[in-house]
Each structure stands twice: as structure tokens, then as C-alpha cells.
Structure 1
Amino acid sequence: MNNSLIVVHGASGVQGAPVVRHLLAAGHGVRALTRRRRTTPLDPAVRALPVDLLDTDALARAYREADAVVVQLPLVFDPEVALAQAESVLRALRAGDVRRVVFNSGSTLPPGPVGVPFVDVRVMLAARLAEQVPTVSVVGPAATYMENLIAPWSAPRVRAGELAYPLDAEAPVPWVALDDVAATIVDLLGMASPPALQVVNGPKALVGEEAAAELTAALGHEVRWRTIEPDEYERMLAPHLGNEAAAGIAAAYTPPPPGTPPAPAPDPAVFRTGATTLGDWASRQDWDRA
């Protein structure tokens, strides 16, 4: 699918911007869907369209004549709104006669609903896309994103010497770079028969202190790991994302109730290893301005 026209949801966001960048570098045309009208262009080569996800007709018009659509849902924590947006996307894909979709789930997808709206609606969409579109691939990270560490709720702590995260200190975590997810999406769009699922791993799984050591080497001062509870993470997020979003994200880190059967292990064939190490990623960030 070289030199194809690709519609990208959320093209100006944290998830979408790397996808646009990689698509342009690969020679594709991009029609960028954004939540609001932009005062500055994304790129001279990109046509940006402000579209409400609940406006099915506008979405269908945006999809028409495109060779593929990269679907990315916003973080919405009202279950009714989140479901309505996903249903609108499904209807628009059929109305727009879309033949190929890559769905970037933006997070690790469990095998079924877990009671967290922004997770559950992604599980639903991943399951139902094939009802509307002949060729569908779902892409997601195997673990949390490196970019979360330079977000405004985390970067000041890292600069002060602390990597605080609601993860078990002894659990090996294959931190994932958004650039590696974007590269996977572009590769899938170039395949004649892409796999239905790709899970992007970081190149190395790190326990807490190993992740902190990678940041220590990149920043030039000691960074120590600290495991925090989901409620503390919620308090970190709230001033930057609002109470509803903070509670919704923190809920995704809350352990399941005791006795919950573990999720089945994914087929190893679905995993793809990214090229970006946590240390390399950290060394490229402007921590002083974060």
C-alpha cells in the first residue's frame, strides 16, 4: 500500500502524532481527524479535519476514498459516551465502505470486559471491527508507555530522582515507545495479508530498579524506583487530567479481586519487539522542559 491515503484518528494527539509522522516518512498521504479545529497545521502535507466521533455521517465522509483508516479512540470515562463513540465509528466504517483498518488500542487489551469503561469499549471495538471491514489488524502495547514518564505528572518526580509507578517492583515490564507502535502500524498497512493482532514489546523487560537505572544513566543523576498504589497514582494524575480521567486510568492499574483466574497467555506469534530501549528513549527527551 505504498503512496496510499490513510485516515488517522486523533492525529494531533500523543498516540496519533507519531503515526502521522511515520506514515509521511513512508510516502503515504494522510487525512488527519482531530477533535477540534486547529489554528496551526499539523504538517503542510496533511489535511486536517475536525470531526465529532458521534457524528457518524461526518466520519463516513472523512473515510470515503481512503485506502485505510487508523482508528484510535480518545480516553473517555463515561461508559455511555465511550460506547456511543465506538458504535458511531463502526457504523461510519460500513457507510464509508472502508476496506482496511488498523485499530490502535492504545493500551493492553484483556480478553474480556474488566469494568473499566475506556478499556471495555476497546475490547468491544476490537471484537466487532471484522463485522464491518474486510481487513482488520489490532495493535497494542504489551506494557506501559515510556512517554508516561515524561508526562507532567511524572517528569518532575523523575527530575527529582524518583520513578514512581503503580507496578510491582519485581515484575519485569517491557516498556514500549510510541514510535515503535507507530512503526508497527505502518508496517501492517504495507502487508498484503496482515496479522489480526500485533502486540508491541519493548526490547527488554525491566524490573523497577533496572528501569530506574536506565533513567539514571540517561539523566546523569540517581533515579530510584518506588512502587505506589493506584490511589496515589490517581492523585498524581488528577491536577493534570481531571478527577474523572485520573480515576479511570488508576482503575486500570487496580489488581483484580483475589481468586480471579489469570488471563490466558497470548500466542507468542503475536508479539513484535520494538527497537527503542528505555535508556535510548530517555536520553532523547528534554527533561528540563518537561
Structure 2
Amino acid sequence: MAAPRRARPSVDPCVEPFAADLLDLDALTAAYTGAAAVIVQLPLDFAADGVRQAATVLAALAKSGVPRAVFSTGGGIPPAEPIGVPFVDARVRLAAGLPGAVPLASVVGPASTYLENLAADWSRTIVHEHGELRYPLPPDLPNPWVAAGDLGAAVVELLTAPAAARLVAGPSALTGPEVAAEIEAATGRRVRWQTITPPEYARMLAPHLGEVAAAGIAAVYEHPAPPPDPALVVPGRTTVRAWAAGQDWAAGR
């Protein structure tokens, strides 16, 4: 196996990045060796062999002797058993195997949808040009939207105060129209909520993420996950209005 290829220099002089194939055990082991902790997040790739990637990551963690690891799922806590969908089963495999690979293991994810979805390329332009938040959630569903920064803060906390599992929620649950009103208050532009179907959402995403990823993401909204275990949920600090005030809502960047 090839040694890990050093990636381009980071803007942060304290960071030493490496590029390594998630299927390359030797490369991952070399990248992990000597680390005080590893934060793992599998790629948002519905076509990749994620189950094999998860197995390789677990083997590299064990082989390198990393003392602690945090698995950031990118979604909720994975189910206990595989469901036959590789994208999900990879996360099941990684979450289940992590305690056996490192002495201190944590799994963390958002308790709900990311606020960043509302300001991503596929959404921001529509907000800018049409004043609409188009999203595949019922308008009257209270949803504790999560800021990615709050999830990042939870990951940092888990590096020093490990817990087996944690879900991060927004500080309050808001309906679709309430979210639109908060963004309107933060930006001074007219914003209204528009519920769309998962297939319509896939068509929004496809030009930016590709057909496969768009269909995979939209399928999540076809079959919503059950409510998270309240015992695992911790509230973040970032309100929708504060988050929206820090975004660039221009149509093109």
C-alpha cells in the first residue's frame, strides 16, 4: 500500500494535513499513528463502498493505537442493526465497532436538520431571488434546527470529556414559517416558507451534488427517522436569527 500523500499546506500552521484513501489501511494507519485523538466522519457519498471504508477506519484506529476517537455521523445516531442500505450500514458498522477499536469512543450527530442546508447553494439563490425557503418538511412541524458550529463545539467537548453518544439540537424548536420569520428578521429581506416534496428537493440538489447524492439525501425525507432519545440530546446555543445574520445570502458567491 502507498504511504499517505501529504496534502496541500493548511492555512493553520498548527495543522498537518494528509490525504489518504479510506480503503487504504496502511495509509490510514500512518495518518492516525501518534495522534492524541481522531475525529471520523464518513463522506456523504451514496455510491461509495462505505461499509468497507468503515471497516478500514476501524482497523486503522486499532492498529495505530489511537487512545480516543469521536465519530461524527453527519446524521442521527445510527440504528443498532444494518438495514441493507450501504450508506446507513457503514455508519452502523463504524458506531458499533468504535468501542472495540479505541479505549475512549464517542458517537455524536445532529438531533435534527442542519441550518446550513438553508443557506447552501441550492437554497440561497432561491431565497435571494424568490424570497422562499423551500424544504421537504411539513410547515407546522416544530424542528430544532442545528448549527454546524454547535455540533463542532460538541465534538471538541467530547475530546476532553468523553461520552458514549450525544445528539446536538438547536436551542428551540421552530416551525417552517417561524424559521422563515427569524431569517427575515435577521436579513431584512422578505422570506416565506414553502414545503416541497422529497422529489422536488432532489431536483433542487441535483445540479449541485449530482443525481445519486441528490436522490439519496431526498430519500431521507421520504422516511423520517423516529424521534431521538431525549436522554442523548443536548441543546446548542446558536439561534436561527443569530445564525442567519452571519450568512451570505447573495445569489452567487
Structure 1 position 158, deviation (Å) = 1.4
Amino acid in structure 2 at the alignment position of 1:161: G
Residue ranges of structure 1 left out of the alignment (5+ in a row) = 1-33, 257-261
1:188 aligned to 2:127? no
Percentage of identical aligned residues: 54
Cross-structure match for 1:29: none
- 8 A contact 1:116–1:251 mirrored in 2: no
C-alpha distance in 1 between matches for 2:72 and 2:214: 21
Return the match for 1:66 from 22, 35, 40: 35
Task: Report the CA distance between 1:264 and its aligned residue.
Answer: 6.8
Q: Secondary structure at the match of 2:216?
A: helix
Q: Name the residue aligned to 1:225.
A: 193
Which residue number corresponds to residue 155 of structure 1? 124
Q: Find the counterpart in structure 2 of residue 83 from structure 1.
A: 51
**Superposition map of 1:102-117 within 5 A:** 102-112=70-80, 113-117=82-86
- 1:40-59 Cα deviation digits (max 9, x unpaired): 52422211111111111110
Whole-angstrom distance in 2 between the partners of 1:48 and 1:229:
40
The residue number in structure 2 matching 1:286 is: 248
Alignment-derived partner of residue 140 in structure 2: 170
Give 1:168 shift: 1.4
What is the RMSD of the two structures over their aligned residues, measured on CA atoms?
2.0
Structure 2-normalised TM-score? Answer: 0.91
Give TM-score, length-normalised by structure 1. 0.80
Count of equivalent residues? 247
Please say if residues 35 and 52 of structure 1, whose CA atoms lie closer than 8 Å, have aligned partners that are also in contact.
no
Contact residue 173 and residue 207 of structure 1 kept, 8 A: yes
2:186 and 2:5 map into 1 onto residues whose CA distance is 35
* Deviation of the 1:222 alpha carbon: 1.6
Unaligned segments of structure 2, at least 5 residues: none
Work out whether residues 110 and 263 of structure 1, in 8 Å CA contact, stay in contact via their aligned partners in 2.
no
Cα distance between partner residues in 2 of 1:232 and 1:114? 25
Are 1:77 and 1:248, in contact at CA under 8 Å, matched by a contact in 2? yes
Question: Quick one: structure 1 residues 77 and 280, their matched pair in 2 at CA, closer, same or farther if it must change by over 3 Å?
Answer: same
Give the alignment of 1:210-289 within 5 angstroms. Answer: 210-255=178-223, 263=226, 265-266=228-229, 268-288=230-250, 289=252
Residue type at the aligned position of 1:67: A
Q: Is residue 140–residue 200 contact of structure 1 (8 Å, CA) maintained in 2? A: yes
